Structure 1
Amino acid sequence: MATEEVWSPVELGRHLMQVRERSGIKQAELAKRVALSPTVLSRIESGDRPVTLEEVGDILAQLATPEASDLAKALGRSWRVLPRPPLDHPDQDLLWKAEQVARELVTLRDQPDTPHAFERRLSEYIDELGRGAAMLLKREHQVAFIGSIGVGKSTAICKMTGLEVPKEDGAMTPVLEVGGGGITVCEVHLRTGPQFGLIVEPKGDDELRQDVLDLADSILKGAQSPDEDGPSGQESQGISKEVARALRNMAGLAVQRPKGLDGKRTTVDPAKQLAQQFPTQREFVVEVLSRMDLHRRDKRDVWYDSASGKSPKAWLRDTFAAINNGRSPEFTLPRRIEVVVPEKLLQVADLTVRFIDTKGIDRNAAREDIECHFDDSHTLAVLCSPFNNAPAAETRLLLERAKDAGIRTMDVNAALLVLPRPMEALAMKDDATSAPVESAQEGYELKGEQIALALEPLGLQTLGVAFYNANEDPAASAQEFLLERLTRARASFRARINDATAGAWALLSNHGEERIHAVLRDAGESLHTWATLNATVPPVHAHVQESLMAQIQVAYASTVRAAVRREGEWPQLSYSHHIGYGARRLAVMALEKAVDEFAGHCKILAATPRYAEAADLLTQAERVLTSSYEELLRKVQLMGQTVFKDALKADPLFWQACMDEWGQGPGYKSRVAAHNRQWFGNEARRKLEEDLQALVAREWTRVLANVTALLEPNA
C-alpha cells in the first residue's frame, strides 16, 4: 500500500465507515473481529485517530465486500505523475491506467538517448494525460440558465429543484422572487451546503455610487428624456428597474400609492420630492447615499434560525426578497446572491452541481457575464427560450457568437430549454395536415423539428433540446435532461483520457521498429509540407471594434451612457469584453479554415492504408494543433481585452467627449459611435491592432512548431 502520510485520517476514516455501513456490519461487531475496542474504531472512522496500513488491511479483509476490495486496491496505489484522486472518485481505475502509461512515458522521455521528436511526442502525451485527468478530477459543475427578462428562468429553477413553499391558498410559489421579469437585482447562485442560508457578495462603494448616479439621472431628467433614441422616447431607463427599486428602498424613497378619500389610488414619489429639495445631481446623490446608512450595511451572510417561527424555505423566500429588494437594513446592494440549501439540487451522484440564475437579457444578449459560460468545460449553458418563437433571437445570437469565437464544444456544453406556458404546446398544428396536435408531447415534437431546422445554418441541429412547462410537467423530466447533459460532459472527459492513453500505449509499443519509423517519416513529411504551405496568417478585412460598435447601435441610449460614465466597464455593455471578443473573432476568421483543413488532412492520411501505422501520430498531431489553436484564441482574447482597456482608461478626453453628447438632443448613440470610430481609427489604436495581428502570427508559428516538433526528420 501507499505510504501512510498520503491519506488524511478524516478522508480514510470516512470511507472506512461508509464501506462498513454498506456491508451491513455493526461497528461493535467489526471491532471484535479486528481486535480493536469500539472506542478506537469509532475514533478511526471519525478521523480523530490515525490508522496504520496494517489496521486498514485487517478492517477491509474482515468486511470482505467488493467495495472493500476496491478501497484496498485504491490504497495500494502510489501516484507519481498524475494527481491522486480522492478515494471516492468513480473513475479511479481509468485514472490509474492513465497513471501507468504516464509513468512509462516519463521513464522513456528521461532517457538521455531519446530522439528529440520522440521526446516531444512523449511529452505531449504526458501533458495531454495531465489535462484530461484535471478535467475528470474536478467534479464541481455549473448549470447556467440564460434567457430574456420574463422568460421564466427563476420559476423553472425552483420548480425543478423543489425550492417552493405553499401560499395561503395552498398553491406552491418559488423561493426565488419571481414576477413579470426584471425582479432579481443580480446574478443568483444556488448550491448545496450544510444548512439554509444566504451569502451576499456586495457591490463596491464606487459601483454603488455609479448606480446612484444613474438613479439620479432617471429622477432628475425623467424616464422619457429627449436624449433617448427610441420611438417617442419609450426606451428603458439607464438604470434597470430592479436596481432602481432596491436603491429606492435602501434610501427610504420607495414610490407610494395610497388611497384617497374617493377610494382611488394616487402615486407619490418621494424621490421626485427629494429632487426638488436637491436639484443638482451632486446634491441629490450625496443625499441619497447618506440616507442609505451604508456603514451599517456590513453583513455578508445570514443563516436559518428556527426561532424565526417560519419553515426553512419560507424563511429563505422572505429573506431573499428582503435582500433582493434592498429592504434589509443589514445588507448593501448585492453583486451576487448565493442561496445555500441542505439538499441536492440535482439528483446526480459523485458531482457537486451549482445552479446559476443569470440576470435576464434586456436587448443586450452579448454580455460578458453570459458569454463566459460557453468556454468553460465544467459549465452547462442552458439557453432558455419561450415556446412560440423558440429558438429565441437571443439564443440564436449567443450561439452564433460562440461559433464565431471558435468555441467547438457547444454540442456538450450548451443546451436549449424551451419553457412553454399552459396551452401553448396544444396550439401547435401539423404543417402537412393543419390538424391540431393531440397532446402536449406531440406539440413538443413538432416544435423540436422546427428548432432543428432553425439551428441547421449554425451546424447545431443536434443541439440538446428539452421542453419544460413548470406548471404542468414533472420536475423529473427537467432533472433527467440536465443529468443527461452533465453525463455527456463527463463522458467527453473520459473519452479524452481514453484516446490519449490508447495513443500513448501504441507509441510505446511500436517505437522500436524501423519499418514504422519509415512510415512515420513519410507521414511527417506530408504534415511538414502542409505546415510550410500554411505558415502565413492570411489577412482579414475586419477590426476588433466591430462587435462593440454593433452593440452600441443595439443598446438603449441610456445603457450606452451608463457604460461611458464607467469608462466602458459595465455589465450591460463592457468595452473590454467586446474588444476581446472582436480580437478572438479576427483570429478565428484568419485561422479556423486552416485548422479544419489540417484535421481533414490528418484524417485522410490516417485512412490511407500505407499510413495505417502512423495513425496514432496523425491523431496526436491533430489534437496538438487543435488544443494549441484554442490556447491561441484565449491568449488573443486576453490581449485584446487588456491592451485596449488600458488604452481606453488612459484617455479621459475620449470619455469626456462621449459624456458631453448627453443632453444634445436625439441621436446620442450615433454621436457616441462617431467618437468611437474616430478613437479606433487613430494611428495609435491602429498600431495596437497591428500588434494584435503580430501576436496572432507569432502564436500561429508556435502552434505549427508544436506540431512539427512531433515529426521525425527525414534522414
Structure 2
Amino acid sequence: MSITRGVSGVQLGHRLAQLRESCGMKQAELARKVTWSQAVLSRIEAGERPISDEELATLLKAIGSDEAADLATVLDRDWQHLPRPALDHPEQHLLWRAEQMTVTLEGAGRLPEVPAAFRTRLDEYVKEIARLAALLLRREHQVAFIGSIGIGKSTAICRAMNLEITGPQGHSMPVLETGAGGVTLCEVHLSRGPGHGIVVEPRTHDDIRSDVEDFVDHIMQSRPSGADEDGTPAVPREIERAIRNMAGLTVKRIKGADGKTVRTDPAKQLMAEFPARRDLVVEVLTRMGLHRRDRRDEWHSPALTATPLEWMKSTFEQINNGRHPEFSLPARLDLILPDLLEIDDIDVRLVDTRGIDQPAGRADLEVLLEDPHTVSILCSGFNDAPSASIQHLLQRARDINNTQIDSNASVLVLARPGEALAVKDEAGSRAETAEEGYELKNEQVLNAFTPYRLGGIPTFFFNALEDEPEGLRTFLRERVTQTRDEFQRQLDDVLDRTQFMLDNAEQEQVQAVQREAGRLLATWIKQHPTPAPLSGHVHDALLNEIERAHAASVNAAVRRDGEWRSLSYTHQLGHGARRAAVTTLQAWVTGFTDLCQTLSDPDSMPEASELLSQAQQLMSTAYDELLRKVQLTGLTLYRDQLREDPQFWSDNAGEWGQGPGYLNRVLGRNREWFQQPQRRDLEDQLAAVLEHEWRTVLERVEAIFGQA
C-alpha cells in the first residue's frame, strides 16, 4: 500500500514544496539532485503528477531536513477516529497521540468484562479528547479589537501592521479611515491573501430599505438638531452619509455674498417633491441604484500609478462612504494583504469591530468574547482605562459564566502624547518617563479588573504616534500563541490522565479509594437534584439594555422586529436565560469543584485524583453545554412569539416622535408584553428545560463512579 494514503496529490505536493523552500533550495536545484527534469518536479509539487513511494523517498532524502525525514512517518499514519491533520500542522504528533489514545480507549471499552461505570469513563474521555483535538486542529484564529468609538483602535491597528501612507504634510496616515467616531459603516477584517484587495459582503436589500426608511423618517420629522429624544442622531451618521452619497443627496454649503455659509439639503427639497413617506423611500432607493451596485471585490493592479496602500486607502474610503458607484452598502469589509501578523503555521485574521458608542451588550461583540479561537483585545483610552463599556461587557460575561475571557481576553491601553507623563505616584510626583507612567497606570488598570476576577489580565500600553509598533506586534503574537499553548496543555493533560487511568485500572487499592470518592460525590449529587426556581425574569437583561440604550438604537430595533446591530432582542433574551441559569446553578457547580479538589488533596485521597479530575472536568464541560442550551432555548422560545406579534412592534414604533419620554414609554409597553400569561408560560418552559438538563448533567457525572 502507498504511504500517501488519505492524502491528495495537491496536499502532498504543497508540503514537498514547503519542505524544499524551508531549506532554501530552489526547485531546479532539487531536480538536479534527484536527476529529474524540473518540469516533472514542478508537476509533482502542483499535485498534477502522482508520485510513487520510491520517488517520494528519493525526494525526501535529497531535501535532507529533519522535517522531510519525518514526513514519511506522518504519511504512514492511519487515522480512524480524529480527522487527519494537514501535513504541515504544527501539532501533528500531539494529535496522533490523541488518535492512538482514542483507539486504545475504544478497544478497552469493547472488552466484555469491563464494568459499566468504567466503560462510561472511557466514553467520556473519548468525547473530551475529540473536543480538545478539534480546538487544536483548527488553525484559523482572530484578533478582535473591541472598544469605544474615537479612542484610536483603527489607528493602532494600522500602525502595528504597517498600514500607513505618507500624507500631504509628510505625516503618516492610516489606511483605515479614522476620525472621532461614526466613521466606519461596519466591521472590518484584515487577512492574508495573494495580493492587495478589498472584498465586500453587502447588506441585504431588506436591511438597506430599513436604513433608508430611518433616513426618510429623520428627514420628514424636520428636527432642527437632527436628533432624537435623548439628543443623539436619529440615524447613525455613517449610514446617513453613505445613503446621501449613494443617492446624490449630499448637503451643499455655499458662501453667500455676505460671507455667511448657506446650507442646502437636497433631501429636504426631494421631500417637497415626494411628500408621502412611501414615495420618498422608493425615490431614495431608486436614486441609490442598488441594481447596478453588484460588485463584491476589487484588487490592486501593478498598472495603477498609486501604490498598493494608497489605492487601498482611497478605495476603502470610497466604499465606506458610499461613493464607489459599483459597491452597495457593506455589512462587512475584508482587506486582503500579502503580509499581516505572521505566526508560523497559523492563519490570523484581525477584526476592527465597530466602536462602542454606549455601554451595551452587543451581540457581535459578545459572540467574539465566547469564541475560543478569538483573542479579544479590550481597548480603552489612557485616562479612562478600563472604560465603562469594557467593564460592562466583562460583567455581562461573568453573569453568564463565560470563562473564555480568562484565557483569551487582553487589554490594550491607547495613550496619546503627554498622557503617561501626567500620571502621579502615591506621593504625588509625576512620572519622569512614559514607561514609568505606563507602570503606574497599569496598577490602576489591574485593580479595576479585580471585581471581574481578571487581576492578572495581560495588558499593553501603546502610543501610536510615539511608540515603536514592534512591541504591539509581539504582544499580539504572544496572545495568539498563548491560546494555542492552552489548547495543547489541556489536551496533554487529558491524555496524561487517561494513561494514568489505564495504567492503574487493575490496582485494588486505587479502585477502593476511587469507590469511596465516588460514594462521596454520589452523595453530593443526591443532595442537589433539582434547581431552585429561576431568580428574576428572563427579560430583565433586555429591559436593562433598553434602559441604558440611545433612543435611536431602540427605535431602530423595534422598527426591525427587534433585530438591530446595537440592540438585538433575541440575543438579550438568550443572555437573560443563561444568566438566570448561572444564578441558579453556579454555587452548586462551584461547590462540586471545591469538593473534588478537597478530596484529591495529598492528605485525603491522592489515589483518586485522576477520577476526581475527570469528574471535575466533566461537570465543567456538561455545565457549559447546559448553559449554551438554555441560552439557545431562551432565544428560540421568545423569538417565535416576537415574530408572531406584529402589533407589538407597531405599537412600539408608534411611540417614536411623540416627544420626551420615548424610552419610558417603550419600556412600559415591553414590561406589559412580557408580563402577559403566555410569556410567563415561556419562563415555565425554560425552567423545565433547565431542570431536565441539570438532571442530565448529574446523570453523566454519576455514571463514571462505582467501577469495580
Worse overlay, 358-367 or 588-597: 358-367
CA distance in 2, matches of 1:191, 1:555: 33
1:102-147 CA-partner distances (Å, limit 9, x unpaired): 2111111122332211111111111111111111111100111111
CA distance in 1, matches of 2:448, 2:18: 50
Q: Does 1:252 align with 2:244?
A: no
**Which residue of 610, 615, 618 maps to 2:612?**
618
Against the structure 1 CA distance between its residues 690 and 209, is the aligned structure 2 distance closer, same or farther, given a 3 Å change threshold? same
- 8 Å contact 2:369–2:376 — kept in the other structure? yes
Which residue number corresponds to residue 269 of structure 1?
265
Against the structure 1 CA distance between its residues 592 and 289, is the aligned structure 2 distance closer, same or farther, given a 3 Å change threshold? same
Which residue number corresponds to residue 551 of structure 1?
545
1:150-171 CA-partner distances (Å, limit 9, x unpaired): 1111111111111111112221
CA distance in 2, matches of 1:518, 1:6: 45
Report matched runs for 1:194-209 at 5 Å: 194-209=194-209
Which residue number corresponds to residue 668 of structure 1?
662
CA distance in 2, matches of 1:18, 1:555: 52
**Shift of residue 693 of structure 1?**
1.0
- 8 Å contact 1:227–1:668 — kept in the other structure? no
CA distance in 1, matches of 2:654, 2:18: 68
Which residue number corresponds to residue 590 of structure 1?
584
Report matched runs for 1:431-446 at 5 Å: 431=426, 433-446=427-440
Report matched runs for 1:448-467 at 5 Å: 448-467=442-461
Q: Does 1:185 align with 2:185?
A: yes
Report matched runs for 1:255-654 at 5 Å: 255-343=251-339, 345-431=340-426, 433-609=427-603, 611-654=605-648
CA distance in 2, matches of 1:564, 1:142: 32
Worse overlay, 537-546 or 633-642: 537-546
1:387-414 CA-partner distances (Å, limit 9, x unpaired): 0011000011111110111111212111
Alignment-mate amino acid for residue 542 of structure 2: L
Alignment-mate amino acid for residue 632 of structure 2: L
For residue 262 of structure 2, give the secondary structure of its aligned residue in structure 1: coil
**Shift of residue 619 of structure 1?**
0.3
Worse overlay, 519-528 or 305-314: 305-314
For residue 201 of structure 1, give the secondary structure of its aligned residue in structure 2: strand
For residue 361 of structure 2, give the secondary structure of its aligned residue in structure 1: coil
For residue 258 of structure 1, give the secondary structure of its aligned residue in structure 2: strand
1:352-381 CA-partner distances (Å, limit 9, x unpaired): 111111111112521101111111000011
CA distance in 1, matches of 2:640, 2:97: 47
CA distance in 1, matches of 2:221, 2:17: 67
CA distance in 2, matches of 1:494, 1:562: 44
**Shift of residue 630 of structure 1?**
0.6
1:638-677 CA-partner distances (Å, limit 9, x unpaired): 1111110110111112112212222332211111111111
Alignment-mate amino acid for residue 254 of structure 1: T
Alignment-mate amino acid for residue 47 of structure 2: G
CA distance in 2, matches of 1:289, 1:597: 59
CA distance in 1, matches of 2:14, 2:171: 42
CA distance in 2, matches of 1:380, 1:302: 29
Against the structure 1 CA distance between its residues 266 and 7, is the aligned structure 2 distance closer, same or farther, given a 3 Å change threshold? same
- 8 Å contact 1:364–1:572 — kept in the other structure? no
Worse overlay, 380-389 or 515-524: 515-524
TM-score, normalising length from structure 1? 0.96
CA distance in 2, matches of 1:465, 1:601: 34
Which residue number corresponds to residue 219 of structure 1?
219
Alignment-mate amino acid for residue 238 of structure 2: E
For residue 447 of structure 1, give the secondary structure of its aligned residue in structure 2: helix
Alignment-mate amino acid for residue 326 of structure 1: G
- 8 Å contact 1:223–1:237 — kept in the other structure? no
Alignment-mate amino acid for residue 359 of structure 1: R
CA distance in 2, matches of 1:352, 1:603: 38
For residue 363 of structure 1, give the secondary structure of its aligned residue in structure 2: coil
Report matched runs for 1:78-157 at 5 Å: 78-157=78-157
For residue 307 of structure 1, give the secondary structure of its aligned residue in structure 2: coil
- 8 Å contact 1:385–1:392 — kept in the other structure? yes
**Shift of residue 2 of structure 1?**
6.4
**Shift of residue 51 of structure 1?**
1.0
CA distance in 1, matches of 2:45, 2:226: 72
CA distance in 2, matches of 1:669, 1:316: 42
CA distance in 2, matches of 1:356, 1:610: 48
CA distance in 1, matches of 2:389, 2:254: 39
**Shift of residue 492 of structure 1?**
0.9
Alignment-mate amino acid for residue 97 of structure 2: K
1:514-543 CA-partner distances (Å, limit 9, x unpaired): 332222211110110111111111223211
Against the structure 1 CA distance between its residues 41 and 205, is the aligned structure 2 distance closer, same or farther, given a 3 Å change threshold? closer
- 8 Å contact 2:359–2:390 — kept in the other structure? no
Alignment-mate amino acid for residue 153 of structure 2: K
Identity across matched positions, percent: 48
Q: Does 1:68 align with 2:62?
A: no
- 8 Å contact 2:533–2:687 — kept in the other structure? no
1:238-263 CA-partner distances (Å, limit 9, x unpaired): 31000000001011001112233344
CA distance in 1, matches of 2:248, 2:242: 10
1:606-637 CA-partner distances (Å, limit 9, x unpaired): 11445222111110111111011111111111
1:446-487 CA-partner distances (Å, limit 9, x unpaired): 110001111112211111111111111111111111111111
For residue 303 of structure 2, give the secondary structure of its aligned residue in structure 1: helix
Which residue number corresponds to residue 54 of structure 2?
54
Alignment-mate amino acid for residue 452 of structure 1: L
**Which residue of 676, 693, 711 maps to 2:705?**
711
CA distance in 2, matches of 1:416, 1:30: 47
CA distance in 2, matches of 1:38, 1:281: 70
**Shift of residue 334 of structure 1?**
0.9
Alignment-mate amino acid for residue 189 of structure 1: H
Gaps (5+ residues) in structure 2? none
Alignment-mate amino acid for residue 534 of structure 2: V
Worse overlay, 508-517 or 523-532: 508-517
CA distance in 1, matches of 2:288, 2:65: 63
Superposition CA RMSD, Å: 1.8
Against the structure 1 CA distance between its residues 501 and 271, is the aligned structure 2 distance closer, same or farther, given a 3 Å change threshold? same
CA distance in 1, matches of 2:210, 2:100: 56
